Structure 1
């Protein structure tokens, strides 16, 4: 018996009936020989952590563009906070922690630079169907490893595709919206819990809002600081969830659910739509729009081919259209690389 087989046997003994044992994965798009040491979900987690797209998350905006302070969240720190919350919930519920963590670490691999303004502009100039969860699957399946992709398990891919949709339902009822595993469903809720807490934290730190503006119900029900709010949300999810019709039904009590919804609406109107944040997003949309047009019109394509090679992305001739390839490129670059490209191609340069 290999180390992996021994681990899978132990795993089956301690997981709840609602957790997915690694040995019961539906496999990968392309079949691979099993690792003698690591389970399939452990391999997925490591493939994500070591991929280029994961490393680029450290220079992608969460909410505040190019923050000068060292303590503001980036897309990478957001991802790590989601993984921490999701894994804590999975452990308490005796779900598969490796599967949960792999989904959490990969859920934003396809996120654009400059936060949701990047996603908005690609919806406008490329396709109304563009979304970062779908783009995350493109990263996983096509764009990483120069076109070879990461070939992750079907359960991890499904969880990444169905993580939270911005202002969508916190815990959806529709099977089309729900991940096929309890682990993937946990990540969706953990994603919302994470950004509600840290976006509020960063907004206070930046001076966009002050503590006195937080709705009274949110403070009374959830808590007055980050640790209290996170503990309340996580504990409520763990204790309110229960088995139903042979499945684990994730649930949040009505009181906490209302407070979370109110906090989300508060952030939308007072932080994401604040002049300090919105005005910078307008600028960033202009940058990405002009870069998209520039690379699309690169007649001899040498510049674009060079940029794709620098990001270790497949040449656009292997993708179905140049528009799709330019969209993939724009979605993949970091905030600071976008600013560097814009300066290089649109600012006058010295002749000396």
Structure 2
């Protein structure tokens, strides 16, 4: 009798609500998940014990003897375990283990670049981008961002996750509209990097899915993830090497991979000086002004959409001449030209002071 009482009490404890019904955040806690499974298994064992014994005793009187009944029951439980194991394995793999990328310093990620020129350019540019964003945020009286290591994924790792656990990811493409018009991959939302710099966030951004930020080279993705982290989103990451690396690996895209654009009119310095047009320098924040009369400085990459609107409005009354002297500025100048033309504005051309930066960017 005492053994039966102890057995009853043990089953009662194991099948109590604290074990059988998981708390709301059970998925986030491996220990709670283990307790949940113990509760479920305990309920199953107790039910199986009672039901099997009653059924078998009625149809096989010999099973009244414990020496026969217990081995038979154990065999049935083992067979049940084999039948249910795939279900538990699938559930445990997909919902109990959170998705994690590689948590590496951005310099380590960049040093994986095989092309020496690209590697050196990125190592130099990423710290310039931090300074440019700091200038833009300071001008808008926004708090400084404490940059930290952000988890990231190689293109192949992200492709595998999109295939196996895509519903747990939220893909945010922060390239400019012209870049997005060329090609893309499956994504949940698009947004401007410049708006993220100013703490302007997409609507309905989830906190229960891992956000993966996409860009062309991986640098804006890294920076964009920093701003989201600063805004309170803990589950953020970026794509290593950006969509340039993705396309180089031959992974699936929507559209045609083409990084060059139609060549705009490229006036000489004398022609630029003589033009009756709004002259807008789009080089990064902190760049020195070019020697052109009535020059408007607009650091395009870190400018918010609201800050772009006056230029878009002016372009409908008089042509806009985009001017630049840095590679990043000329690249963003092409983005601004595309945006102006899409909204019905007039473009006078693009003046590259060096005469070099546009060569690899236009057809």
Does the TM-score normalized on the shorter chain lie above 0.5? Answer: no
Question: What TM-score bracket applies, with the shorter chain setting the length?
Answer: under 0.3
Name whichever structure is richer in helix by fraction. 1
Looking at CA atoms only, which structure, 1 or 2, has the larger radius of gyration?
2
Q: If each structure's strand is expressed as a fraction of its own residues, which one has the higher value?
A: 2
Q: TM-score when scaled to structure 2?
A: 0.27
